[in-house]
């Protein structure tokens, strides 16, 4: 199979602080290598902090804020996961509207891990089939979707994967998806039942949490300052 070329295609990566680093940086590198122009779109300007599971990682620069970016400028959307990133995005009305616009125009949307939380809050999942991090399986089902425990699921203009372990098939699929011309119609429900819940959490995550080092004194002091500031702000609000 010849390599997919994305020359002339523009992709928006919607992310906020707390994105899972590999779920943003690796797809962005692959898309740019294929010729796509990629913008990092966020709820604020400057640079946003990545995460390696629960540990802070390096930052990436924001290209445009949601006030500056328009879905009409782009041929596709990517929403990476992480524990914090989609939680922040789903609380932003501008982020929800940004995502809905891609779906209304039947443009490609790709997401993985906890990223589909944003799709839930944007109201895009009734009748759809997708996958996501197994821990949010019930959120997908309760939002009206069929959740499949598979490395990759495509439903029309929507491509999803479970997490970093599925990046290889995810990268191949999103390049093909972004190469397609919109509109890409929804396929709709292609499975009658969701996959069952997992019986145990992923051993790799449990193991990582068990052996993470203690936070540094600097980190502990920073957390203390932030907590004190939040408490004072709450007290003033009352």
Contact 112, 162 (CB under 8 A): yes
Look at the pTM and tell me if it is higher than 0.75: yes
The whole-number pLDDT of residue 188 equals 58
Of 113, 140, 158, 159, catalytic:
113
pLDDT of residue 220: 66
State the catalytic residue, choosing from 9, 21, 90, 114: 114
The CATH T-level fold of domain 10-179 is Rossmann fold (3.40.50)
The predicted structure's pLDDT at residue 171? 97
For 102-168, the DSSP string reads HHHTT--EEEETTTHHHHHHTT--TT-EE---GGGHHHHHHTTPEE--SS-EEETTEEEESSGGGHH
For each successive 10 residues of the chain (238 residues), what is the average pLDDT?
Answer: 85 98 97 98 98 90 98 98 97 98 97 98 97 97 96 97 97 96 76 87 74 65 71 71
Nearest to 130 by CA among 101, 104, 102, 166: 166
Is 113 an active-site residue?
A: yes
Would you call 155 a catalytic residue per the annotation? no
């Amino acid at each position: 199979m010849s390599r997919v070329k994305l020359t002339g295609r523009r992709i928006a990566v919607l992310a906020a602080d707390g994105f899972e680093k590999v779920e943003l940086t690796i797809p962005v590198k692959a898309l740019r290598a294929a010729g796509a122009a990629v913008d990092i779109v966020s709820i604020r300007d400057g640079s946003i902090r990545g995460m390696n599971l629960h540990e802070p990682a390096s930052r990436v620069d924001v290209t445009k804020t949601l006030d500056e970016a328009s879905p009409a400028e782009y041929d596709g959307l990517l929403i990476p996961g992480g524990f914090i990133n989609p939680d922040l995005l789903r609380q932003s009305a501008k982020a929800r509207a940004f995502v809905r616009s891609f779906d209304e125009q039947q443009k490609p949307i790709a997401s993985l891990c906890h990223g589909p939380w944003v799709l839930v809050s944007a109201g895009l999942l009734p009748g759809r089939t997708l996958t996501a991090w197994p821990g949010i399986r019930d959120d997908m089902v309760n939002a009206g979707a069929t959740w499949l425990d598979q490395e990759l699921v495509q439903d029309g203009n929507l491509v999803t994967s479970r997490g970093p372990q599925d990046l290889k098939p995810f990268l191949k699929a999103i390049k093909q998806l972004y190469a397609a011309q919109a509109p890409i119609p929804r396929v709709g429900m292609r499975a009658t039942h969701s996959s069952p819940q997992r019986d145990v959490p992923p051993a790799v995550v449990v193991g990582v949490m068990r052996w993470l080092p203690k936070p540094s004194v600097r980190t502990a002091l920073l957390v203390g300052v932030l907590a004190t500031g939040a408490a004072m702000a709450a007290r003033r609000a009352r």
